[in-house]
Structures are given as C-alpha cells and as structure tokens.
Amino acid sequence: MPDVSWNLEAERQWWRSVCAPNSWHSEDDAKGTHPQSLWWFLNLAWGARAFLRSHPAEPQWLYEPIHKPYTGWLQFHLLEWKRLSLTGRPGRYHIASILPRGYGKTVSSTKAAALWTHLDDPDMTTLISSATSPLSEDILGSIKAVMNGTDSDSWFSWLYGDWSQGAQLWTKSEVKHGPRRARNISEPSFDTSAEQIGSTGYHHRQNWIDDPLIKNKLKQDRIAYLRGAHDAVNAQYNSLHANGLMVFTLTRYLDDDIAGRHLKEEGVATWSGMPCPHLHMFDKVPFGKGDWHVFFYQTEDEITGEPTHPKLWTKDMIAKAKARDAEDFACQQQNNPGSGEKAPLVESQLPYLYVHYKDFNWEIPIKWATVHIDTAFKTTENIRRGDSCAIVVWLADARDNGILYLDTDLLRASNEWREETFNEELIKVLVNLRKRNIFIRSITDETEPGGKAGTYKNRILGICKAAGFQFGPEQFIQLNRTSNKKARIRTAAGHWAEGYVRILLNKDQKGTWVVNEMTRTLFNQIIRVDVVTHDDLADAATDGFIPQLWSPPVANPGIPTDEGQKVRRPWDDDLKDMGKPISDEELKQLDEERKELIEAGLLTETQGWEDPDSWVAPREPV
C-alpha cells in the first residue's frame, strides 16, 4: 500500500478558516463564520485542550456540555455587536458571563474570546480590567504568550503568525501588535486597567471587566471598597466608544456588586445557560426589556440537586462546601447571593403563597388591616444613603388562623419622597381601605431619633384627622427599628415560610401571575435579606408580626396529627397530592382491600361507591 503524505498546509488553512471570524466559506462560497469557530479557537488556537491533556493534575475545567454552548452564545453576541457597530449608529452592547469560580470563564472569554475578535479586525482596541493591576497584567501576559508563540500548547502563531513581529508597543501593560494597520489610532490593541485606576484616558472599542472585586477587601470595608469599584467601572463605561462593547466576566459576591447593580439598574435583554434563580431582583426594568445579554451557570442545579460540572464537583464536595460556608457557596458557586442553606425563605417557595384577588374578595373574611410605614425623610443620614420611604398593608384573616394577606396593590416605596408627598400617599392608602369597608386596626412607624419621639406621630395623626380618619394614640404604634434589623426580617421571613402569609396578586388574560415592580422589590429584600443594600419595604413588613398585632393561633390552620396540630405550608408535598386523580396502582390496592372485606363478611357485594345506600363512615365536620 503506497504511503499517503499528510498535507500539513491544507490542515493549517482549514483550521485557520475555522478558528477565525468571517473567514469560513460555505458550500455556496458565501463568506461567514464557522458555527463553532470560537469553540475551536479556544480548544486549538488558544491551546486549552492541549494544556489540560498535558497537565492531568490541573482541574479539568473544559467541559463540552457547558463550554460548547457557552462559546456559541459568546460568539453570537460578539458577531452581533460587530454587525451593529458597522451600521455607525450609536448604542453600546452589553454582555455578562456569570459563571462559578473555577469554570474557566476568564480563559474562555476575557483571554481567548477577546483575542478572537482581533482576527478579522486587527485595528480593534480592547481594555482589560480586573481587581488589581497585577491581575490585569497577568491576563494580558497570557494573551501575549499566545500571540508570540511562546505558549507551546497554542496553535495561534502556527495559524496566524507571530503577532509580536512588527509590534509598535509590547509591554506588560500595553500592546500594539504587529497586524495593527492604522497608525493614527492612539489606543493600544490591548490595554490594561484595574479597580483602583478606573479609566486609562483612552477610548477603546471594547472593555472586558473580569472579576473586579476581591472577597477579602469586601470583608475589610465593604461600603468604601464597593463605592470605589463602582466608580471605576462607571469611569470605564463613560470612556467606551458610543457603539462599543461592554463585557462582564465575573462571579457574584453581593446583591449590590458590579453585576448586581448594573443588571438591576439597566435590566436584562436575554438570559441563557441555566434559569435565573433571582428574578425578583429585576424590579426596575422588566425582565427581557433591558440592556444585558447574560449567560448564567451554577455549580449545583437547584432543581435536581445534581452537580452541573461532574469533572470539577461531586455531590459530596458540594455538601461539604455548603457545610463549611453556605453563604460563600451561594455566592461564588451558585451566583445567587443570599440563597445559602440558612436562608429562611427561598424564591421558589413564593408562588405557593399567591392568591388571586378575585378569590380573596369572594372567599376570605377580613378582620382588619394594619398599615406599616418607614419614613426615611426623618434623618439626613437615611436620605444620604438612598433609603426609601415605604408603606406596607397586611389584611388579617377573620377566622383567627394567623394568616396575613399582603395587599400588593397598596405597596408603596420611593427614595425621592419628601414628607408631604409621603403623607399624601399614606392618605390614599387609608382611603382605599375605607372604600373597601376594611377596619384599620393600627399604623406602625419607627420612633423619631434625637429625643424627638412623638413629633411626627402627632403631626400625622392631625393630618389623618383632617382627612376623616380618627385614630387614637394607641392605634399609632412607634417601634425602635435601629437594632437587629436583619434578625427581625429573617424572623418575619420564617413566618412566610411557615405558611402564615398569602400574597394577593392579579392575573393577566393568559392566566399568568402579574407581580408588580414594588412587590418584586419586597420579595428581593425578604429572600436576600443578608445581602441587599436597602431593605425599607421588608423592614416595614416585619411590623405585621409584632406581638401587639399578631400571634400564632392556638389551633394551627394545618392538618391535625397524632402529635398535635402541625402547620401545612402551601408547598408541602402532602398538600400537592390533594385533588389529583387516583392512580391505577392505588385503585388496584383499594379493590384488593374491598375484596378482603367481602371475604371477611364486613362488606357485601352490593355495597360500593356506585350504591347510593352504601354504608359510609360518619364524617366529622371540617
């Protein structure tokens, strides 16, 4: 058999076309990008596959079920940004990769994908920013090693040449690589910055912000450190081209971290990867109507309890990590701050508490309403922090079963209200309750600071009287909310989890629950109590469970057991089966039991479900 020589040049041309954007020719000779271009670039041109094979002791983070769809998602949005930028119309593009620590997100995106964008546009200008200058320079150092061929695992220089040749600039913090054509562009091909630096003074076409926070610094002085990090990111955002690309590649730490603030303030356009576990944080911009395209992943599937990356994590490792530090696992591995094992209430429980307003108005007798307010305008410190004034209304079930109904239509909050505006909103709430013939049992508020106790109480009682509401001094309860706020909210959240809360909502024409912005804000503050920056609605809502107004019933509203009364929560499995059709197996078992009773002479053939005269056991009233 004759020897067949391998055409190495043909292979090189093949992979050269596959691994670069806008270099692939389809069967009809149309120029475009291979569907898996970035995936193969990461594996071969960057050299991730060869490195992991030659270093089996290293964590084998490259996992096709995760990274193939991830690089496909990233490739789509990078090409879409390039397409839109060619139109010349202003409008920045936003991408956020939120993956667990150790999943190779920096290598896949900030390193490999950023370099990939330069292959069809050598004049591209890219800023790489991390928590510190050395970290940013390390990222650039890896890119330089691939570009000049010193990385032995990479095919890059074999496919595209040595990009250090002819470079105008090649330092540890800046690079103007050899393929750069335009000589009048001041910005480096790759530039670096950091949280403590902010903007570099240049205007780049794309900014890649990679893990801009350090956990230990958050523990030292969280407020000051976060403020500096946000200022740095904002400075880089302002220096970005008007039609530039902003990329976050990070892991979550706090509710108000870099991703948390920007996703909340600017909203989400699309969400890929795994389902979003914290929808209620998006209370300002409706989900799907915002700016950010997000790829999200977690270490543990919160629905199945299975590891998502078995090459990195096993169920036993996950269990040990949770036992060691549940909150840290919730942040760095689940990207869901505040959802640790010790969280008193989780988001998945909330839908079981929903009650339709129509059903409520028809079926539930109301004993009274309690109105709970948080008045941030009383101190300049609260105003400076951005705290909100808030109004929360609970409706008590007249059957004394301990259940409180959250009137979501009457939720109010704003950090822009002056005292007179807040008073107007409060009167509107009281008028609404009066029109519905609901007795107002009490109003609660926080005691005024600085020896001025009772000042606002007397003022608001006079305003209420002028509006036709006669409240006695004992009906206006003032509380000290300055201490153990988080503990009080967690205790109240425990009552939610025990089934003592129902949430009144409406449905749209399709039968979907309509959760308004204010209700989402309250949910977010309740379920993420340990990480949220502002908790004014949640703080006011806890007053519904103070001893003066609420106590658990002597006879719980649940199902009695041999051990006594037990509260059945709406999401408990034994309640989910009620009303379901009987299964074939259960029907067969009942039939066999009936036959045994007939054989024992305790039941005749004619007695059964179809016989109207059949004997049935007496039933106690429910």
Please give the average per-residue pLDDT across 40-63, as a whole number: 96
Specify the length of the chain in residues: 622
Do 317 and 415 fall within a single domain? no
Amino acid at 448: E
Are 330 and 302 spatial neighbours (Cβ–Cβ below 8 Å)?
no
Range of the domain at 258: 47-297
Do 265 and 365 fall within a single domain? no
Are 347 and 280 spatial neighbours (Cβ–Cβ below 8 Å)?
yes
pLDDT of residue 561: 41
446 falls within a domain:
yes
Q: Hey, what are 244's tokens?
A: 């530039």
**Per-residue confidence band for 526, with pLDDT thresholds at 50, 70 and 90:** confident
Using DSSP's 3-state secondary structure scheme, residue 532 falls into coil
Average pLDDT, the chain: 85
Do 245 and 103 fall within a single domain? yes
Do 273 and 314 fall within a single domain? no
**Per-residue confidence band for 620, with pLDDT thresholds at 50, 70 and 90:** very low
DSSP 109: I
Domain boundary among 558, 575, 593: 558
Top mean pLDDT of 45-59, 337-351, 501-515, 565-579 is at 45-59
- Report the CATH number at residue 137: 3.40.50
Whether the CA torsion 12, 18, 24, 27 is positive or negative: it is positive
pLDDT of residue 564: 41
436 falls within a domain:
yes
**161 Ramachandran zone, left/alpha/beta (phi>0; psi -120 to 50):** left
Do 334 and 352 fall within a single domain? no
Please give the average per-residue pLDDT across 390-412, as a whole number: 93
Q: Give how many domains the chain has, as a whole number.
A: 3
The least confident of 28-42, 55-69, 233-247, 549-563 is 549-563
- For the CA atoms of 186, 187, 193, 199, the dihedral, rounded to the nearest 10 degrees, stands at 70
> Among residues 131, 286, 291, which one has the least CA distance to residue 213?
131
> Among residues 389, 529, 546, which one has the least CA distance to residue 479?
546
Do 335 and 432 fall within a single domain? no
Amino acid at 525: Q
**All residues at 6 or more sequence positions from 429 whose CB lies less than 8 Å from its CB, including other chains:** 371, 391, 393, 410, 412
pLDDT of residue 582: 59
| Partners of residue 479 on adjacent β-strands | 446
DSSP 353: G
Do 108 and 239 fall within a single domain? yes
List phi, psi (to 5°) of 94: -125, 125
Please give the average per-residue pLDDT across 492-508, as a whole number: 89
Whether the CA torsion 94, 95, 101, 105 is positive or negative: it is negative
Give the number of other Cβ atoms within 10 Å of residue 164's Cβ. 17
437: pLDDT strictly greater than 80: yes
Do 186 and 238 fall within a single domain? yes
608 falls within a domain:
no
**Per-residue confidence band for 556, with pLDDT thresholds at 50, 70 and 90:** very low
More confident residue, 102 or 202: 102
Relative orientation angle of helices 485-497 and 517-527, to the nearest 10 degrees: 110
413: pLDDT strictly greater than 60: yes
> Among residues 299, 300, 305, 294, which one has the least CA distance to residue 271?
294
pLDDT of residue 502: 94
In this structure, are strands 412-414 and 404-407 parallel, antiparallel, or unpaired?
A: unpaired
Cα separation, 102 vs 93, in Å, equals 26
580 falls within a domain:
no
Do 65 and 144 fall within a single domain? yes
Domain boundary among 537, 558, 579: 558
DSSP assignment of 586-611: HHHHHHHHHHHHHHTTSS-TT-SSS-
584 falls within a domain:
no
pLDDT of residue 244: 95
- If residue 396 lies in a helix (H) or strand (E), which one and from where to where? strand 389-397
More confident residue, 75 or 264: 75
Relative orientation angle of helices 455-466 and 419-435, to the nearest 10 degrees: 50
Give the number of other Cβ atoms within 10 Å of residue 129's Cβ. 28
Relative orientation angle of helices 222-239 and 258-266, to the nearest 10 degrees: 60
Amino acid at 124: M
**Per-residue confidence band for 618, with pLDDT thresholds at 50, 70 and 90:** very low
567: pLDDT strictly greater than 70: no
CA angle in degrees (0–180, nearest 5) for 543-546-552:
120
Top mean pLDDT of 114-123, 541-550, 609-618 is at 114-123
439 falls within a domain:
yes
Q: What is the 3-state secondary structure (H, E, C) of 422-483?
A: HHHHHHHHHHHHHHCCCCEEEEEEECCCCCCCCHHHHHHHHHHHHCCCCCCHHHEEEECCCC
More confident residue, 239 or 75: 75
Domain boundary among 558, 582, 598: 558
> Among residues 143, 141, 74, 81, which one has the least CA distance to residue 109?
74
- Report the CATH number at residue 374: 3.30.420.320
% of the chain at pLDDT higher than 90: 47
346: pLDDT strictly greater than 90: no
Do 404 and 476 fall within a single domain? yes
Do 248 and 315 fall within a single domain? no
More confident residue, 573 or 231: 231
283 falls within a domain:
yes
622 falls within a domain:
no
Do 361 and 230 fall within a single domain? no
- Full-prediction pTM beyond 0.95? no
> Among residues 53, 176, 55, which one has the least CA distance to residue 124?
176
pLDDT of residue 238: 87
